[in-house]
Structure 1
Amino acid sequence: MTHEREIHSPDEFDAVLAAHGSLTGYRIQSVDLTDRTFALLTVPAAGAVFLGCALQPEAAAKVRADGALVFPPVPDLPFAPYRARLYSPEELYEGIADRPYEDTPDALAYGWFQRTKADGDVFASMLRAIHDDAVSDALDEHLAGARVVGVMGGHRMGRGTDAYAGAARLGRSLTRAGLTVATGGGPGAMEAANLGAYTAPFDDGVLDEALELLAKAPSFRPSVTDWARAAFGVRARWPRGGDSVGIPTWFYGHEPPNAFAGHIAKYFANATREDGLLARSTAGVVFLPGAAGTVQEVFDNATPNYYGSRGAPTPMVLVDRVHWTERLPVWPLLSALAAERPMAARIALVDSVDEAPQALARLAP
C-alpha cells in the first residue's frame, strides 16, 4: 500500500472517483463523507478501509457489505486519532485570541492524556497509539524529499536573551540554505529556531523586530496565554513566513508547542517523538546548550551513527565549547566513542551558534 492509495480530503475522494470509479483497496482517512452518500452507494468499495470518517448509516452499511472495514469516529475526544495531516499552530491554539490557553484544543488534549495515561484502559492506550502512528505517517509524507536538519536545545532559553537571538539566526541561516529545520517544537531554543525559519523569507530586520516584540512575553511561565498571543501577533504582522517542523509531545504538558513551526507533529509518546525527530534529521543535527534532555538527544543520535544502523553517519555539531566540555562534559565522551569510527569525520564542536551552519556544511558527506 502506497500513499497514492490514501484519501485525505473530500477533493481527493472526488478525484479518485472521477478517475477510477471505485474505492476498492483505498484507505480513506478522517474525511467527512456525510454529503458523499450517493457516491458511496454506487461505487464498489471492496478492501477499502474507512478510518475515522463520518458516514451516513446507509453508506456505512453499504461499504461494509462490499467488504470494506469501517473504523468510525470516536465521540467526545479532543483530538482525531485517525488524522490525515500534521497539526498547524492555528489548529492547536484555536480560540487563543479570545480565550485562555486552557480552553484550546492543545490544552484539552493534554488534559485527556493526564486523565487516561495511568488508568490502564486499553482503549485509551490504543487511541494514543493510533494517533501517534497517524502523525508519523503524515510526517513522513510531509518530509518526503526534504533535507532535514534537527536543532536541539533547552526549553528554558528565554525570549529577549542573546542565546535566543542566536538560535533564531541559526534557524534563519539553515532555512535560507535550503534545509528544512526540525525542532522539538516547544519553547526556548526550539521556538527560536522555528522563529528563524519563519522569518527567513523576509529582510533581516524583520527578525530583529520580531525578537523585540516577543521579548515582552519572555517565557511561557506564568502565562502560556500571553506567551502564545505574542507569537501569533508576530505571525499576524508578517504573515506567510517560512516553513519548518516542530515535533513536540503531550508527555511534557508543561511545554506548550510554539507557534512558529508551520507543521507540527505532536505525539503522546515521548519516546516515539524523540527517536522520530532524530531519525528524520537526515542532513544533520545541531545541539545548542541544554540540560538532561539535550544530553540524552546527543547520545540517542550518536548511537546509530556509531553502529551505522541508519547508514552513513549524519553530521553532529555541538555549539558552545565551554558548555559541552566543562559544564556538561559531553564532548570528551562523544569524541572517545567516535575514535576510529566513521562518525569521527561527522562531528564538530564550535564556539558560537553563528559557526554552526558552516560546520554543518563542512561535515556533509
Structure 2
Amino acid sequence: MENPDENTYAPGVEIETLAAFDLAVTAGTLTDHRIQSVDLTERGAALFATDTRGAVFLGCRMDSGAEAKVRADGAFVFPPVPGLPFDPYRGLLYTPDALYEGLAGGGYEVTPDARAYRWFQRTKADGDVFSSMLRALHDDAVSDALDEHLAGTRVVGVMGGHAMARGTGAYREAAVLGRELARSGLTVATGGGPGAMEAANLGAYAAPHSDAMLVKACELLSAAPSFSPSVTDWATAAFTVRERWPEGGSSVAIPTWFYGHEPPNAFADHIAKYFANALREDGLLVRSTSGVIFLPGAAGTVQEIFDNTTPNYYESRSAPTPMVLVGRAHWTEKLPAWPLLSALASGRTMESRIALVDTVDEAPEALARLTG
C-alpha cells in the first residue's frame, strides 16, 4: 500500500500568468498545479469545466461560485489578503515600474515600495504571527521566482557600498564594469540599492547600447547624485534615462526592506526584494555561481566578503566561488579584509579562487582567470 504522505505533496506545475492558466486548462485538469496570484475573476467558466482536485490556488482572485466549486473539488485555496501593499503569493519577480508605480504623480511616498516599507516598520516587531507569516510567504515566493528566472544562467555578483555617488569617477567605473560583464554573457546581480549597486545594474542596462550612451546617462544622473534628500528626484532621474534609452540589457537586483532607507535602483529589470535581510544576503551570494566582485565598501561589503568565504573555506560547494576584491589600498589598509581572507585561504582549495586587483578595469580579466 502506498504511503499517502509520500504523494500528497509531490512537486506540482506552477502557473504564474493568465496565459499559462488558459493553456493548462485545455488539458481538462489542474490536478497537482499551483496557481500563484493569477486574477481568475473572468475564468469562472473554465474553472467549472476543469477538474481541480489537488490543485493549489495561492492568492488568486475568483468569483464566489467558482471558489466554492474548486473547494468542493478538494483544491486548496489560499485567498488574497486584503489591505496589504504587497502580494505574499506573487509568482514573478518585481520590476522597477511595479515598485515605483505612482512615482510621477505622487512622489516616492505613494509607491508600493515605500508603502511596503512602512508596513514592515509597523509590523516587524509587533509579535503578530500573521504578519510574520505573510513576510515569510512573500520571501519564499520571491526566492522561488528568482530561482526560476536564473535557471541556466551564469551569474556574477557585484558588491559595493551604497554611498558611491552618481557623477563620481568611481560610479562611472562601476558602471563600465557592469557593462563589460553583461557584454561577456554574464548575468549581473547586485544588492539592488544605490551607489555601486546601481552603477553595476546601470552598466548592464547600457550593454546593448553604444559606449557613448553610458557616458551621457552618467551625466544625466549626476543631477541627482544621491537618494538623500529626495528619493523622488533620485528615482525620477533613473526613469528619465530608461525612457530616453529604452530596451536596455537585463540584470538582477536583490534589495531588502530591512534597509528601507536605501531605495531600490531602477536599472535592474528583475528585482527580488525581501523583507528578511539574511535571506537576501545569502541568496545573492549563493546564486552568484560565476563569481563575486567586491568593490570598495564598508560594513555591509565586508560582511558579504566573509559570508561568501565561509562556505568556500569549508568546501561546502563543489567548487569555491571565485572572489575578486577591487582596490588594494582599501582592502589592505583602510579595511584590511584581504590579509584575513588570504590567511583563511592559505593551503585550501579556495586559494586559487581569490584575487586582489588595483583597479576596476582589471576585475573582468581577473575573474576570467580564476574561473579558468
Which band: TM-score by shorter chain? Answer: over 0.9
Distance 2:304 2:31 in 1: 43
> Does the residue aligned with 2:61 lie in a helix, a strand or coil?
coil
Which of 253, 262, 266 is the aligned partner of 1:255? 262
Equivalence for 2:218: 211
> Does the residue aligned with 1:261 lie in a helix, a strand or coil?
coil
Which of 305, 309, 313 is the aligned partner of 2:316? 309
Task: Give the superposed CA RMSD.
Answer: 0.8
Distance 1:235 1:100 in 2: 18
1:223 pairs with 2:233:
no
Distance 1:311 1:82 in 2: 33
1:15 pairs with 2:1:
no
Which of 34, 41, 51 is the aligned partner of 2:58? 51
Which of 138, 145, 148 is the aligned partner of 1:138? 145
Equivalence for 2:4: none
1:302 partner amino acid: T
2:214 partner amino acid: L
Unaligned runs of 5+ in 1: none
CA contact 2:160–2:197 (8 Å) conserved in 1:
yes
1:299 pairs with 2:306:
yes
Distance 2:19 2:196 in 1: 38
Distance 1:145 1:50 in 2: 28
- 1:115-154 correspondence runs (5 A): 115-154=122-161
TM-score, scaled to structure 2: 0.97
Greater mean deviation of Cα atoms: 346-355 or 95-104:
95-104
1:291 partner amino acid: A
TM-score, scaled to structure 1: 0.99
Distance 2:25 2:108 in 1: 41
CA contact 2:326–2:359 (8 Å) conserved in 1:
yes
Distance 1:237 1:266 in 2: 26
Equivalence for 1:326: 333
> Does the residue aligned with 2:65 lie in a helix, a strand or coil?
helix
> Does the residue aligned with 2:188 lie in a helix, a strand or coil?
strand
Greater mean deviation of Cα atoms: 96-105 or 319-328:
96-105
Distance 2:11 2:233 in 1: 43
Equivalence for 1:336: 343
Greater mean deviation of Cα atoms: 56-65 or 214-223:
56-65
Distance 1:242 1:39 in 2: 38
Question: What's the offset of the Cα at 1:2?
Answer: 5.1
Equivalence for 2:5: none
> Does the residue aligned with 1:70 lie in a helix, a strand or coil?
strand
Equivalence for 1:66: 73
Which of 91, 94, 101 is the aligned partner of 2:108? 101
CA contact 2:11–2:32 (8 Å) conserved in 1:
no
Equivalence for 2:3: none
Which of 140, 163, 183 is the aligned partner of 1:156? 163
Greater mean deviation of Cα atoms: 257-266 or 303-312:
303-312
> Does the residue aligned with 2:105 lie in a helix, a strand or coil?
coil
Distance 2:187 2:355 in 1: 20
> Does the residue aligned with 1:318 lie in a helix, a strand or coil?
strand
Number of residues of Structure 1 aligned to a counterpart in Structure 2: 363
Give the fraction of aligned pairs with identical amino acids, expressed as a percent.
73
1:86 pairs with 2:86:
no
Greater mean deviation of Cα atoms: 96-105 or 84-93:
96-105
1:16 partner amino acid: A
1:248 partner amino acid: P
Unaligned runs of 5+ in 2: 1-9
Distance 1:125 1:37 in 2: 32
